[in-house]
Structure 1
Amino acid sequence: MTEVDLRGVLYPSRLPSFHREPAPEALAHLLRWVWVPRWELAPGQRLVEEILPFPASNLVVEPDGVTLYGPTTGVSTRVLEGSGWAVGALLRPASLSRLGTAPASIRGGACPVVDADLHRRVVAAMEDADAQEGGRRAAALLIAWVAECGEAASSAALVANDMEDLIATDRSIIRVEQVAERLGTSVRSVQRMAERFIGLPPLAVIRRYRLQEAAQRLRGEPGLSIAEVAADLGYADQAHLASDFRTVLGLTPRDYRRRHDGAR
C-alpha cells in the first residue's frame, strides 16, 4: 500500500486501520483514490472520527449497501463502535455526470446505488482472511466499477476537473475571479460549472482546500505560527483564517492545534 494522504483527517491518531489506494493514472480523471478503513473495537469502546471532507462526492460500499454521498458544507463526524469496514472512492467532478446524479441534489446528503453484484463482490473481498489482500481486491473492484460506469466524460466535465486541480494545487487562488481568469472564462461560468459538477459554490471549494492545508500544517508544523500559516495560504491576515476556521470547524486555529495535541 502507498503512504496515506492525511489531508482532511483532523485527528489522525483517532483513525482506525486505514489506507488510501491511488487511482491508476489512466483513471485519474474519474477518481483520486479509494480509501479503505477497518475497525475492531473492544465492547464499550467508541472512536469518534472527524473529517474535513474534500469538496467532492464519495461512492462508498459498506456491509449494508452501496451509497453515493454528496459534498458536505462542514466537518463530517462518525462514531465507530464494534467492528466494521468501508470501501470508498473519492470521485472527480467528471465522474458525477457519468453516474447520472447532480451533486447539488445530494449536497449534505446521500442516495443509494443499487448494484447487488458490486456489493456482493466487495463484501467477499473484505472477508478475505488476509485483510491487506482483501482490501486491495476490494479497492480494485470499486475502481473498475467507476471506470466502466456510464459514458466517456464530456469536455465540459474535464474542464471542471481542471478547475478543481487549479484550486487544489495553487495556494495563490483565493478568489473566484482568479479561477475564471486562469481558465479564460467568466465568473458566472465558473459558478455554474462548480454547481453542476461539484455541487458547491466555487468559493466554498477554494476555502475547503485552503482549510485542509491549514489544518495539516497546524498539526504537522508546531513551530509555525498561525499568522505564518495564514500568510502562506493567501489569507489577508490571521483573523481571516480564524474566521474561516470557526465557520467550518466550529473552533479557532489555536484551539484546533491544542485539541490535536491533546488527542495524540
Structure 2
Amino acid sequence: MIDAQRGILYPARMPEFHRLPPPTQAEELVEWFWIPEWSIEPGRTSRQHVVAYPALNLVIEPGGIELVGASTKATHRDLVGRGWAVGALLKPASVVALVDDPSALRDDSMPFDAPDLLAAVTQEMVSGAETHRERAAQAFADWLVEKIGQVAPAARQANEMAALLMADATITRAEDAAARLSMSLRTLQRLAHRHVGLPPAAMIRRRRLQEAAQRVREQPDIDLSTLAADLGYADHSHLTNDFRTVLGIAPSTYRAS
C-alpha cells in the first residue's frame, strides 16, 4: 500500500500531490510515480522538506529530465509560480540500465537525455484531461519498460533486498538482512552499491528516520524513549542524534513545529 505522506516532513504545506502505483508491466521497475502540481501566488515561495527514500528518482519537469541519486540527508525545494513534475521512485532493477555508478550520484543529480520521454509525459500533463496524471504515469512506464527490457536475476534480487530493508521493521542490521536473504554480507553490500549507491546500513537508517518522523508528527504525545526502542535504537539519545544529523533538528523540535 502506498503511503502518500511517508518521507514528507510537513504534509500540510504540500501543493496538490499524488503517488500512483505503476502499471503491471512496470511493477519490477518502479515503486510508484509521484506527481506534484502547484500554483504559488506571485512573490511567494513554498518550501517543501523531504526525507527521501533511499532510492534513485527519474524526474520530469517542463524544462527537462533529471536522474536524482539517493540522498543521505533531508532535502528541500522551493516552489514558485506554476508548475508540475512527474517523478518515478525507481526500484533497484531499473538503475543498472540508467546509470553506471549510482554511488557517484549520492546527494547529487545529473541531466538525463530522453527527449521522447519528455515529450510523451509533457503531452499528457498539459492535455487538460481529467486523467492526465494516470496517462502521464502510463507513458512514463511504457518508456521504462522499453528502455530496460528483461529484468535480470541479480536485479530481481536487488529489488528483494530493497523491499526487505525498507519495509521490515525487524531488520535493524545489515547482517539481519543478509541472513534473511541467504547471502553473505559482502554480497548484500555489493547489491546495494551497484543498484542503489548506498550501503545497506544507510538504507535501514533512512527507514527508521522516516518512521520516526511520521510517528512524531501523527502521534504528538508519543514518548520518545518508547519510540526509540520500538524502532531498534539503542536509546533516546541515539534517535535524537540520528534526527539531528539528517534533519538538522531534534525530534522534540520537529514535534513542536
TM-score tier, shorter chain, comes to over 0.9
* Aligned residue in 2 for 1:262: none
Q: Give the letter aligned to residue 10 of structure 2.
A: Y
Q: Does 1:203 align with 2:226?
A: no
Q: Does 1:101 align with 2:100?
A: yes
> Structure 2 length as normaliser, TM-score?
0.95
Q: Tell me the percent identity.
A: 44
Deviation at 1:19, TM superposition (A): 0.3
* Aligned residue in 2 for 1:229: 227
* Aligned residue in 2 for 1:257: 255
Structure-2 separation of matches of 1:25 and 1:63: 26
Deviation at 1:100, TM superposition (A): 4.1
Equivalent pair of 1:97/1:153 in contact (CA under 8 Å): no
Deviation at 1:150, TM superposition (A): 2.3
> Structure 1 length as normaliser, TM-score?
0.93
Q: SS at 1:20's partner residue?
A: strand
Q: Does 1:45 align with 2:47?
A: no
1:215 pairs, out of 200, 213, 216, with 213
Structure-1 separation of matches of 2:24 and 2:133: 20
Structure-1 separation of matches of 2:198 and 2:62: 29
| Superimposed CA distance per residue, residues 188-230 of structure 1 (whole angstroms, 9 cap, x where no aligned partner) | 2211111111101111100001111111111011232112211
Deviation at 1:129, TM superposition (A): 2.4
Structure-1 separation of matches of 2:107 and 2:191: 19
- Is there any run of 5+ residues in structure 2 with no aligned partner, and where? none
Equivalent pair of 1:34/1:143 in contact (CA under 8 Å): no
Structure-1 separation of matches of 2:211 and 2:2: 17
| Superimposed CA distance per residue, residues 124-147 of structure 1 (whole angstroms, 9 cap, x where no aligned partner) | 2111224x4222211111121112
Equivalent pair of 1:4/1:19 in contact (CA under 8 Å): no
Structure-1 separation of matches of 2:3 and 2:188: 31
Q: Give the letter aligned to residue 37 of structure 1.
A: P
Deviation at 1:93, TM superposition (A): 0.6
Q: Give the letter aligned to residue 86 of structure 2.
A: V
Equivalent pair of 1:98/1:153 in contact (CA under 8 Å): no
Aligned residue-pair number: 257
User: Which consecutive aligned stretches of 4+ in structure 1 deviate over 4 angstroms post-superposition?
Assistant: none
* Aligned residue in 2 for 1:17: 16
Distance 1:151 1:140, change over 3 A: closer
Structure-2 separation of matches of 1:226 and 1:111: 38
The within-5 A match list for 1:62-211 is: 62-130=61-129, 132-211=130-209
Q: Give the letter aligned to residue 158 of structure 1.
A: R
Equivalent pair of 2:23/2:138 in contact (CA under 8 Å): no
Structure-1 separation of matches of 2:106 and 2:96: 15
Structure-2 separation of matches of 1:174 and 1:159: 19
Q: Give the letter aligned to residue 44 of structure 2.
A: Q
Deviates more, 1:148-157 or 1:203-212: 148-157
Structure-1 separation of matches of 2:21 and 2:223: 32
Structure-1 separation of matches of 2:99 and 2:174: 27
Q: SS at 1:89's partner residue?
A: strand
Deviates more, 1:102-111 or 1:23-32: 23-32
Q: Give the letter aligned to residue 155 of structure 1.
A: P
Equivalent pair of 2:74/2:246 in contact (CA under 8 Å): yes
Deviation at 1:102, TM superposition (A): 2.2
Structure-2 separation of matches of 1:3 and 1:184: 28
Query: CA-atom RMSD, angstroms?
Result: 1.5
Deviation at 1:3, TM superposition (A): 7.2
Q: SS at 2:148's partner residue?
A: coil
Structure-2 separation of matches of 1:249 and 1:8: 11
Deviation at 1:66, TM superposition (A): 1.3
